[in-house]
Structure 1
Amino acid sequence: MAKIIGGITTSHIPLIGKAIDQGLQQTPYWKTFFDAYPPIHDWLEEEKPDVAIIFYNDHGLEFFIDKKPTFAIGAAAQYHNADEGWGIKPIPPINGDQELSWHICNELVEKEFDITICQEMRVDHGLTVPMQLMWPGNQYEHMKVIPVCINVEQHPMPSPKRCFDLGKAIGEAVESYDKDLKVVVLGTGGLSHQLDGERAGFINKEFDLYCMDKIISEPEALTSLTIRDLVEEAGAQGPELIMWLGMRGTLRGELNVLHSNYHIPISNTGAGTMLIENKE
């Protein structure tokens, strides 16, 4: 049977992709941020997962404000990146796992989740930056990826509890899959940040660290929050925490935090990185 071996949280700021593209990882501005990832690289190399399920949000490449599904899941053989206007070269295609994707989609619909199933899907920095951070040098050709895209751009957005429940349902679907696969789940985005308006540049370190604690010890404390709460506490883009909650919902075993790091400021965003082992 398929098994979820762990979860990873990571920022997906587009400027990270540009730093990678220009080889700036060890410059003073970026070094502390990138130095948080080698322990994750070592764990991925040791565990060798077959599939990565990635909770992320699209920023207008595939879904613009005229058509914005609440939940969209990829069921494609490959996922392609495109130029988003940052002057970053698109990364190589990312391989999908169509069979597992369809299994998850069928299970979600059976559990009354209304999802958009995408047999073609372009992926932006919300997904590509985490791929580059997890597998430096774009060395991810051995991995299969299932994108889970959540609306965090246009109101109304799904509640933290709904996203946690989505993660639970995806975790149950993976566990019911009859192939021996090792699956890692990524929750991307955030933490606190506001990119525009009167509070542009707003970061709430205290709230970010609270979220990093509660995501492990008491996720119900976060699922009781509303989207409005997240905007007030973490800025207009703070609701990206719901991707973390999607990841957390998939983890059902005893959890062990193998690595944790918090760093500000990177592109006016609180960047939280965690490696969570999901024990049986």
Structure 2
Amino acid sequence: MAEIIGGVGTSHVPAIGAAIDHGKCHEPYWQPVFSGMQAARDWIAKTRPDVCIIVYNDHASCFDLRLTPTFALGVGEKFAPHDEGYGPRPVPEVQGVPELAWHIAESLIAQNFDLTLVSEMSVDHGLTVPLSILYDQPSVWPCKVIPLCVNVIQHPLPTAARCHALGKALRVAIESYASGLKVVVIGTGGLSHQLQGERAGLINAAYDQRWLDLFIHEPERVAEIGVAEMLRETGSEGVEAIMWMVMRGCLDARVKTLHRFYHVPVSNTAYGLVVLENE
């Protein structure tokens, strides 16, 4: 059977991608950030997953108000980087895993999760930046990728509890696949940040750290946190962190924390990174 070998939670700050693309990683502002990522890069190089399932949100790139799926699964053979207004990022095209993706779709729908299935889609920084955080600048991504897009832009949003339950169902789907693939699930987005309005620039480090403690050790308590609290405490974009709950649901109740890193500011956001394995 396929095996989930671990989970990664990471912010997907677009400025991180720009820093990598323009060779700024060793500048004084960026050096502490990329030093904090190194343990995750070492782990991914050691474990060498065959597939990364990346839980991310589209930023009105592929989806907009004409079509806003709550959960969308990419089942295609490849996914090109999206042009977000300044040209596509100079990163490799993402290679999909249609056979596994369709298996996941069938399993999740049988478990009462209604998905939007997408055969052709582009992927923006929400997906490509996490790959760069883990793999830097390869000529070809070392893993294949299944995109799992979650709506955290247009209200009503799914709850943290629903995302956690989706993760549990996703684990069932992966582990029922009759192949020895090694899979890593990556939850992206957050932590606290707000990009507009009177609270633009909000960072709530104390709340972020408490949330991370609970996320790792008591995920059921995080699943109880409502969207309103996340918006109030972490800003309009901080609510993206509910996508980490899909990853957390794929793992056991008790996990080993292999790496945890938190840094502010990264651009105008709080950056968080964790690497988890089952005990």
- Closer, same or farther: CA 139–210 of 1 in aligned 2, 3 Å: farther
Which amino acid in 1 is paired with 2:121? Answer: M
Q: In the alignment, what sits opposite 2:179? A: 179
| Partner of residue 259, structure 1 | 259
Give the Å deviation of 1:108.
Answer: 0.7
The TM-score normalised by the length of structure 1 is: 0.96
Q: What displacement does 1:141 show?
A: 3.2
Question: Which residue does the alignment assign to 2:50?
Answer: 50
- Counterpart for residue 167 of structure 2: 167
1:61-95 per-residue CA deviation (whole Å, 9 max, x = no partner) reads 11012211000000011110122124563422111
**TM-score under structure 2 length normalisation:** 0.97
Which residue number corresponds to residue 116 of structure 2? 116
Output the amino acid matched with 1:41. R
| Matched residue SS, 1:263 | strand
SS of 1:138's equivalent? coil
Tell me, in whole angstroms, the C-alpha distance in 2 between the residues paired with 1:131 and 1:259.
17
Output the CA distance in 2 between the equivalents of 1:88 and 1:31: 25
Partner residue of 1:227? 227
Corresponding residue of 1:135:
135
Q: Structure 1 stretch 40-49 or stretch 194-203: which is displaced more?
A: 40-49
Task: Quote the Cα distance in structure 2 between the aligned partners of 1:24 and 1:42.
Answer: 20
Paired residues of 1:82 and 1:90 also in contact (CA < 8 A): no
SS at match of 2:274: strand
Deviates more, 1:248-257 or 1:203-212: 248-257
C-alpha distance in 1, partners of 2:75/2:127?
Answer: 15
Question: Which sections of structure 1, spanning at least 5 residues, go unmatched?
Answer: none
Distance in 2 between the 1:161 and 1:85 partners?
Answer: 34
**2:260 matched to 1:243?**
no
SS of the residue corresponding to residue 232 of structure 2 reads helix
Question: Shift in Å at residue 253 of structure 1?
Answer: 6.6
Which amino acid in 2 is paired with 1:203? I
Is the contact made by 1:191 and 1:208 (CA closer than 8 Å) also made in structure 2? yes
- Residue in 1 that maps onto 2:60: 60
1:77-92 mapped onto 2 (5 Å cutoff): 77-86=77-86, 89-92=89-92
Amino acid at match of 1:109: I
Amino acid at match of 2:5: I
* Distance change (3 Å), C-alpha of 1:41 and 1:254: same
Local SS of the residue matching 1:233: helix
Match of 2:273, SS state, is strand
2:32 equivalent to 1:7: no
**Percent identical across equivalent pairs?**
48
- 8 A Cα contact 2:59 2:153, kept in partner: yes
User: In structure 2, the residue corresponding to 1:171 is in which secondary structure?
Assistant: helix
Query: Which residue identity lines up with residue 134 of structure 1 in the other structure?
Result: L
Deviations 1:189-229 (A, max 9, x none): 11000000111111110110011111111011111111111
Cα distance in 1, alignment partners of residues 225 and 128 from structure 2: 29
Shift of 1:246: 0.8
Q: For residues 15-69 of structure 1, what are the alpha-carbon distances to aligned partners after superposition, in whole Å with 9 as ceiling and x for unaligned? A: 1111111100011111111111111111111111111011100001110122110
**C-alpha contact 1:18 1:86 (8 A) present in aligned 2:** no
Structure 1 vs Structure 2 CA RMSD: 1.3
The whole-number CA distance in structure 1 between the counterparts of 2:191 and 2:32 is 17
Q: Distance in 2 between matches of 1:143 and 1:199?
A: 38
1:93 corresponds in structure 2 to 93
| Partners of 1:131 and 1:138 within 8 A in 2 | no
- Number of positions where the alignment pairs a residue of Structure 1 with one of Structure 2: 279
For residues 154-196 of structure 1, the C-alpha deviation after alignment (integer angstroms, 9 at most, x for no partner) is: 1000011001101110011101111001111111111000000
Structure 1 residues 253 and 233 mapped into 2: Cα distance closer, same or farther (>3 Å)?
A: closer
Give unpaired runs (5+ residues) of structure 2: none
Say whether the 8 Å CA contact 2:53–2:146 is kept in structure 1: yes
